[in-house]
Amino acid sequence: MTDRYDLDHVALAADDTAPALRFLTGELGGTILFGGQTIGFRPMQVWLGSRDGDGMPVELLEPWAVEQNDFLARFVARHGAGPHHLTFKVPDLAAAIARVRGAGFHPVNIDVSDPEWKEAFLMPREAHGTVVQLAEAHGHPETRAELLGYVAEHGANMHPRWWVEPPPPTGHGTLRRVVLRTPSLPSALGFFAGVLQGDVEHETPTSADLVWPRGARVRLEENADALPGVDRLEVVGLTEERTVIGTRFTPVKE
C-alpha cells in the first residue's frame, strides 16, 4: 500500500445494478474484479482501464439483507439510483481519523473489527456532496497490475457470485476521472487536495484536476448554482453520453 492516501474507486448504487454491469462489461469492456454480499448490501467491482493499471474501478452496490441493515435501501429510496461514494485507501485508519478530525471533520460509522478492512466515513454535508469512505486494507494485491493479473489467472473473487452473466465485450473504455460539482473551488480543493492528499495536475479559475498515486483522478468544477456532488464519469473510448442507473457517463473532454 502507498504511504499516502489513494483514491481507489467510485461506487454507484441502485436497487438493480444489472443494466450498469451490462454496460460496463459489454460496451466498455470492463473486467469484473470481485464481489460478494454482506449485511445491508451486496457489492461488486468492475475495472475500466488497461491491463497495466491505467484506469479506475467502478463499484456497483445493491441493497441486500435489508431487514438487518437498511442503510443502502434508505439511500436509494431517498436519492434514487446514482453515485454513492468515493473510497480512499489510507495506510493507517486511526491516523487518518485523527487527521480529518484535526481538520474539523466528523467521521462516522467507524468500524475496526476486521483486521483486513477498517473503515470510516465522511458524510456529504462535509465531503462536498458525496460520501467519502476512508479504508485501511490488508491482505490484497497492492498494485492494479497485480490484481488484474490475479483475476486473469484465477477469475473474479466471488463471496458469493450474485450478479448477472456479463455480455461479451463490444468496446473498450478507460475511466479517466470522476467529475464533481462544487459551489466553492477553494473549499473543495482544501478538502480533496489538502485533507485527502490529491496532487493538483491542472487548475483554472473555475476547475481543477487532481490525481492520486495509482492514477485515479477527480476534476472539480465550480458552479455556484449547482448542488455539490458527482456530476459525471468521464470515459476514454466512449463515443456518446449515456446515463445508466442514474449516473452520467460521458466522453473525455480535456
Per residue in 56-105, pLDDT (tens digit) is 999 999 999 999 999 999 999 999 999 999 999 999 999 999 999 999 99
Provide the domain limits for residue 147.
6-159
Whole-number percent of the chain with pLDDT over 90: 93
Confidence tier at 1 by pLDDT (50, 70, 90): low
Q: Are residues 63 and 99 in the same domain?
A: yes
Distance CA 143, CA 164 (A): 27
Q: Does residue 132 lie in a domain region?
A: yes
Q: For residue 12, what are the β-bridge partners?
A: 60, 83
Mean pLDDT across the chain: 95
Residues 23 and 120 in one domain: yes
Query: Cell 483554472 sits at which residue?
Result: 204
Residue 230 lies in a domain: yes
Strand partners, 58: 10, 46
Tell whether 165 is covered by a domain.
no
> Is there a contact between 96 and 5 (Cβ–Cβ < 8 Å)?
yes
Query: Does residue 154 sit in the same domain as residue 178?
Result: no
- Cell matching residue 97: 481519523
Within 13 Å and on the Cβ side, how many CA atoms surround 72? 27
pLDDT of 137-160, one tens digit each?
Answer: 998 776 888 899 999 999 999 999
The verdict on 140 and 226 lying in the same domain is no
**Other residues' Cβ atoms within 10 Å of the Cβ of residue 186:** 10
Establish if 30 belongs to a structural domain: yes
d(CA 199, CA 172): 27
Query: 60 - beta bridge partners?
Result: 12, 44
Distance CA 123, CA 80 (A): 17
The Cα 58–Cα 60 span in angstroms is: 7
What is the structure's pLDDT at 3? 84
Residue 124 CA to residue 85 CA, distance in Å, equals: 9
Residue 168 included in any domain: no
Residue 204 is assigned to a structural domain of this protein: yes
pLDDT at position 4, please? Answer: 94
Instruction: Encode pLDDT of 2-43 as tens digits.
Output: 689 999 999 999 999 999 999 999 999 999 999 999 999 999
The count of structural domains within the chain is 2
Question: CA 251 to CA 56: how far, in whole Å?
Answer: 15
Among 112, 128, 159, identify where a domain stops.
Answer: 159
Instruction: Please give the Cα distance from 178 to 56 (Å, whole number).
Output: 10
Cell output for 142: 497492492
In this predicted structure, the answer to whether residue 197 has a pLDDT above a threshold of 80 is yes
User: Among the three residues 129, 159, 189, which one is the final residue of a domain in this structure?
Assistant: 159
Within 10 angstroms of residue 13's Cβ, the number of other Cβ atoms is: 28
In a domain, 164, yes or no: no
115 and 200 part of one domain: no
151 with 235, same domain: the answer is no
Q: What is the pLDDT of residue 144?
A: 87
Identify whether residues 213 and 178 lie together within a single domain.
Answer: yes
Q: Average the pLDDT over 172-186 and give the result.
A: 97
Among 142, 158, 141, 159, which Cα is nearest to 150's?
Answer: 141
Point out the domain boundary residue: 159, 188, 204. 159
Do 113 and 189 lie in one domain? The reply is no
Q: Average pLDDT, stretch 154-170? A: 95
Torsion of Cα atoms, 57 then 61 then 65 then 66, to 10°: 140
Q: What is the CATH number of the domain that holds 48?
A: 3.10.180.10
Which whole number is the average pLDDT over 182-205?
Answer: 97
**Distances, alpha carbon 119 to alpha carbons 93, 186, 193, 222, in Å:** 7, 27, 20, 29
Domain shared by 212 and 103, yes or no: no
